[in-house]
Amino acid sequence: MKKLIKMIMTLLLAVPLYACGQKAQLQDDLYIFYTSDVHCGYSDNLGFPALKALIDDTRAEHPNVALVDIGDFIQGGTAGAFTRGEMIIELMNAMGYDAAAIGNHDFDYGFVQLKKLMDMAEFPMTACNITYTGSGENLISSIPAYVMKEYDGVKVAFVGVSTPHSITSSTPAVFRENDEFVYDFCGGDDGTKLAEKVQSTVDQARREGAQYVILLTHLGSLPQFAPYDAITLIHNTNGIDAVLDGHAHVTVTGDPYPNKDGEDVILSSVGTKMENAGQLIIGKDGTISTVLFSAYEREDEEMKKLIDEKNARLEQILGEKVGETAFDLLITDEDGIRKVRCREMPIGNYISDAYRDILQTDVYLINGGALRDSIHAGDITYMNLLAVQPFMNTLSTARVSGQQILDALEFGAQKTEALAAFDGKPAGEFGAFLQVSGLKYTIDTSIPSPVQLDENGMMTGIDGERRVSDVYVLENGEYVPLDPEKTYLLGAADYILEKDGDGNTAFRGAEILMSGGMTDCNILADWVAQHSTVADEYRETEGRITVK
Which residue type sits at 200?
S
pLDDT value for 100: 98
* pLDDT on residue 10: 38
* DSSP letters for 6-27: GGG------B---TT-PPPPPS
Instruction: Give the pLDDT of residue 15.
Output: 43
Helical H runs in 402-519? 402-412, 494-497
Contact present, 354 and 527 (Cβ < 8 Å):
yes
In the chain, CATH 3.90.780.10 sits at 320-547
First to last CA, the chain: 55
Name beta bridge partners: 45.
Answer: none
What is the model's pLDDT at position 428? 95
CA distance 284 to 398: 63
CATH topology assigned to domain 320-547? 5'-nucleotidase;  domain 2 (3.90.780)
- Mean pLDDT of the chain, nearest integer: 92
Distance CA 292, CA 47 (A): 13
In this structure, what DSSP letter does residue 317 have? H
Q: In angstroms, what CA-CA distances link 161 with 210, 244, 415, 452, 472?
A: 17, 10, 25, 26, 43
Strands (E), 202-310: 212-218, 242-245, 251-258, 264-270, 277-282, 288-293
DSSP letter assigned to residue 106? G
What letter represents residue 204's amino acid?
A: Q
Q: Is 125 helix (H, G, I), strand (E, B) or coil?
A: strand
Please give the Cα distance from 122 to 448 (Å, whole number). 48
Query: pTM of this prediction?
Result: 0.74
Q: What is the pLDDT of residue 1?
A: 40
> Where in the chain is CATH 3.60.21.10?
6-310
Which helix H or strand E contains 357, and what residues bound it? helix 346-359
What pairs with residue 329 in β-bridges? 375
CATH of region 6-310:
3.60.21.10
List of the chain residues with pLDDT < 70: 1-24, 516-517
Query: Helix or strand or coil: residue 539?
Result: helix
Say if residues 368 and 337 touch (Cβ distance below 8 Å). no
Q: 465 by DSSP, 3-state: which?
A: coil
